[in-house]
Chain A
Amino acid sequence: MPDIVQINELRKSYKGGFQALKGINLAIRRGEILALLGPNGAGKTTLISTICGITTATSGTVTVDGHDIVANYRAARSIIGLVPQEINLEPFERVINTVRFSRGLFGKPSDDAAIEKVLRQLSLWDKKDNQVRELSGGMKRRVLIAKALAHDPRVLFLDEPTAGVDVELRKDMWDIVAKLKADGVTIILTTHYIEEAEAIADRVGVIANGELMLVEDKDTLMARMGQKQLDVLLTDPITEIPAALQSDALELSEDGTTLIYTYDTRSERTGITKLLADVAAAGLVLRDVQTRQSSLEDIFVGLVKEDAA
C-alpha cells in the first residue's frame, strides 16, 4: 500500500518573510510511529499545523491517504486527529461535552458508546462530568488526546505530548501510543526529548531550521551513526595503558580499573578480538566486559554539529 502521508517540497513562509519550512519531503508509512525530533523553533509545529489545515502552505503539496489536503480537504482532514502542543480548552465546559463536540465537528454521528470508549481508554471516564478547569495539567492533556481520537482518526499527530508532563504520565502516554499503533493508527509525534523518540518510535526524523535533515529507521539510525563502547573491567587497577595496547580508540578510566574501547559497529572489523588478545598478552586479568550503545542524543548532537561545520 502507498504511504499514508506524502509531503512534497513543502514550504512555509510566515508573514514578514520568515521561512519556517524550507522544502520538506517526507513519506510517512502506514501504521508506523514516526518521531520528529528537533530543537525549539525547528519548524515541527509549523509542519504539523500545515498538514492539519491550521496554517496554509506557501508552496508544495501534501496528501493524506491519497487526498490532497487543499483540493480534497474534507476527505483528508476527516481521517486526521491532532493533539496540539498548547493546552487549549474551554475551561467551563464539561469533559464529555468537549469530546462530543470534537466528534461532531469532524462529521461523525453522535455515538455514546464510542465516546465512552475513548474516555475510558484515557482514564477520563470518572472525570467526564467535571469542568475542564478542575482537571490537572496532565488530565487536560488526556482530554486533548480524547478530543483528537473522538472521530476515530487513522493518522494521529501528537505535538510534544509529553512536554512538561511527569514521568508517570509520560509512561502512560507511551502506552496509549503503543495501543493506538496496535489498532493500526499511524502516529507522528514531535518531541525534543531524545529518550522519547528512542523509546517508542519506529522511525526518527530530525528537523532543524526548517529542514528535514534525515529520516531513518530508529535501529538503522543508531547502528549507522552509533558507536559502541566496550568496557573492559580489570581486577587490578593500573596507572597507565601498557605500551603494547596504546591506540587512539583506547582510554583508561580515572580510577584505573576500566579500559574503554570505542569502536564503530559499521566497520568490518571492530578490533575486539585483537584487543582482548592483547589485553591477555599484556598480563592484565579481566574481571568483566560490557558494551554500551551511544544514545540518539549523541547521534543528534553529532548531526547538528556536522550541519554547523
Chain B
Amino acid sequence: MNWTAIKSIYVFEMYRFFRTIAQSFLAPVISTSLYFVVFGGAIGSRIQEVDGITYAAFIVPGLIMLTVITQSISNASFGIYFPKFLGTFSEILSAPISFIEIVLGYVGAAATKALIIGAIILVTAFFFVDFSIQNPLAMIAFLVLTSVSFSLFGFILGVWAGNFEQLQIVPLLVITPLIFLGGSFYSISMLPQIWQSVSMFNPVVYLISGFRWSFYGSADVPILTSLVAIGFFTGVCLTVIWWIFRTGWRIRQ
C-alpha cells in the first residue's frame, strides 16, 4: 500500500476545502439554520410531538443526514470530476498507485469534509433546539458510514459525468427527492399504509431511521435492518468502482 500517495491526495483535496472554507461552511450552516427557524420554530410550534419528542428536535438528525449525504456526494463527485475536467487526472493515472489508493485518497477526503460539515450542523442545532443524544458512539458510526458510502457514490458520479450539468442532475433528480421522502421531516409511520410500503424501497429511509435511533432511541425500521441496508449500498458502490478501474471506463483510454 502506497500510504504516502494516499496521504498526498488526501492532503491536496483538503487544501482545496480549506482554501474555500468560507463557502464550504457558510452555505450549509445558513440553509440548516433556516430549516430550524422555519420548520422547527414557525411550523414546529403547531405540530404535536412526534414519537414523544418535539418536532424541532425530531428533525435534527434528518437535517444532519440531509447535509452529510449531499455534501458527501458533491465533494466526492466534484473532487474526481475537476481533475478530469482540468486534465490533471493524467498525473494520477501515471503515478505508481492502484485504484484502491486513488479511491482511499479521494473518498477519504470527501467523507472527511462531509463529516466536518455534519459536525458543524450538529453544533449549530444546539443553538436552536433543545435535544440530547442517547447513543453518541452509534451516532458517530452512522455518520462515518453514511459519509463514506455516499462519497463512494459521488466518486462514481464524478467518473461518469461528462460535464457539469450531468454532475448536478443526479443529485437534483434522484438524491434530493430520496432524502426529502426519506423521513427527514416526518416519521414514516405518519404516512398512509401504501406510502409506508413504497418508502421501504428508499434506502435513505434506513439511514435516517437508524441515525435518529442513535439520538432518541426510536426508529421507523429495526436498527439491524438499517445497518444491513447501508452495508449493502456501500458494497454496491465498491463493486462499481472496482469495475470502473478494472475496465478503465471513462478514465483510461
Question: Contact between A104 and B96 (Cβ–Cβ < 8 Å)?
Answer: no
Query: Which residues of chain A have C-beta atoms less than 8 A from B8's C-beta?
Result: 100-101, 103-105
Neighbour of A88 across the interface among B88, B252, B253, CB < 8 A: B88
Question: Contact between B7 and A88 (Cβ–Cβ < 8 Å)?
Answer: no
Question: Contact between A102 and B4 (Cβ–Cβ < 8 Å)?
Answer: no
Question: Contact between A107 and B2 (Cβ–Cβ < 8 Å)?
Answer: yes
User: Which A residues between 90 and 117 are near B, CB-CB below 8 angstroms?
Assistant: 90-93, 97, 100-110
Question: Contact between A108 and B96 (Cβ–Cβ < 8 Å)?
Answer: no
Question: Contact between B5 and A104 (Cβ–Cβ < 8 Å)?
Answer: yes
Question: Contact between A73 and B253 (Cβ–Cβ < 8 Å)?
Answer: no
A74-B2, A105-B9 known; A53-B88 Cβ under 8 A: no
Query: Which residues of chain A have C-beta atoms less than 8 A from B52's C-beta?
Result: none
> Complex Cα distance A80/B93, Å?
12
Binding site of B, secondary structure by majority: helix, strand, loop or mixed?
helix
> Complex Cα distance A82/B91, Å?
8
> Complex Cα distance A75/B97, Å?
10
> Complex Cα distance A308/B222, Å?
75
Query: Which residues of chain A have C-beta atoms less than 8 A from B248's C-beta?
Result: 56
Question: Contact between A73 and B252 (Cβ–Cβ < 8 Å)?
Answer: no
Question: Contact between A105 and B88 (Cβ–Cβ < 8 Å)?
Answer: no
Interface check A141, CB cutoff 8 A: no
> Complex Cα distance A52/B8, Å?
20
Query: Which residues of chain A have C-beta atoms less than 8 A from B9's C-beta?
Result: 101, 105
> Complex Cα distance A100/B10, Å?
13
Query: Which residues of chain A have C-beta atoms less than 8 A from B15's C-beta?
Result: 93, 97
User: Which B residues between 67 and 97 are near A, CB-CB below 8 angstroms?
Assistant: 83, 86-88, 90-97
Question: Contact between A90 and B86 (Cβ–Cβ < 8 Å)?
Answer: yes
Query: Which residues of chain A have C-beta atoms less than 8 A from B46's C-beta?
Result: none
Question: Contact between B90 and A84 (Cβ–Cβ < 8 Å)?
Answer: yes
A97-B12, A105-B9 known; A80-B94 Cβ under 8 A: yes
Question: Contact between A147 and B91 (Cβ–Cβ < 8 Å)?
Answer: yes
- Residues 158-179 of B, flagged 1 when their CB comes within 8 A of A and 0 if not, give 0000000000000000000000
Question: Which interface class (under 10, 10 to 19, 20 to 34, 35 or more) fits A?
Answer: 35 or more
Question: Contact between A56 and B252 (Cβ–Cβ < 8 Å)?
Answer: yes
Query: Which residues of chain A have C-beta atoms less than 8 A from B16's C-beta?
Result: 90, 92-93
- Residues 145-166 of A, flagged 1 when their CB comes within 8 A of B and 0 if not, give 0010000000000000000000
> Complex Cα distance A108/B83, Å?
22
> Complex Cα distance A110/B12, Å?
13
Query: Which residues of chain B have C-beta atoms less than 8 A from A80's C-beta?
Result: 94
User: Which A residues between 8 and 28 are near B, CB-CB below 8 angstroms?
Assistant: 14-15
B158 to chain A, nearest CB (A): 16
A56-B248, A89-B88, A107-B2 known; A82-B12 Cβ under 8 A: no
Neighbour of B94 across the interface among A77, A90, A100, CB < 8 A: A77
Interface check A265, CB cutoff 8 A: no
> Complex Cα distance A97/B8, Å?
10
Interface check A78, CB cutoff 8 A: yes
B133 to chain A, nearest CB (A): 38
Question: Contact between A104 and B7 (Cβ–Cβ < 8 Å)?
Answer: yes
Query: Which residues of chain B have C-beta atoms less than 8 A from A54's C-beta?
Result: 90, 93-94, 252-253
CB pairs A–B below 8 angstroms (27 shown): A52-B94, A53-B93, A54-B93, A54-B252, A74-B2, A75-B96, A76-B96, A78-B96, A82-B90, A84-B87, A84-B90, A84-B91, A86-B87, A88-B86, A89-B88, A90-B16, A90-B88, A91-B86, A92-B16, A93-B15, A97-B12, A101-B9, A104-B7, A104-B11, A105-B95, A107-B96, A147-B91
Q: Which residues of A contact B (CB under 8 A)?
A: 14-15, 49, 52-56, 73-78, 80, 82, 84, 86, 88-93, 97, 100-110, 147
Q: Which residues of B contact A (CB under 8 A)?
A: 2, 4-5, 7-9, 11-12, 15-16, 19, 83, 86-88, 90-97, 248, 252-253
Given contact pairs A77-B95, A88-B91, A103-B8, a sample of 6 additional A-B residue pairs in the complex whose CB atoms are under 8 Å apart:
A14-B253, A78-B96, A80-B94, A82-B91, A84-B87, A102-B91
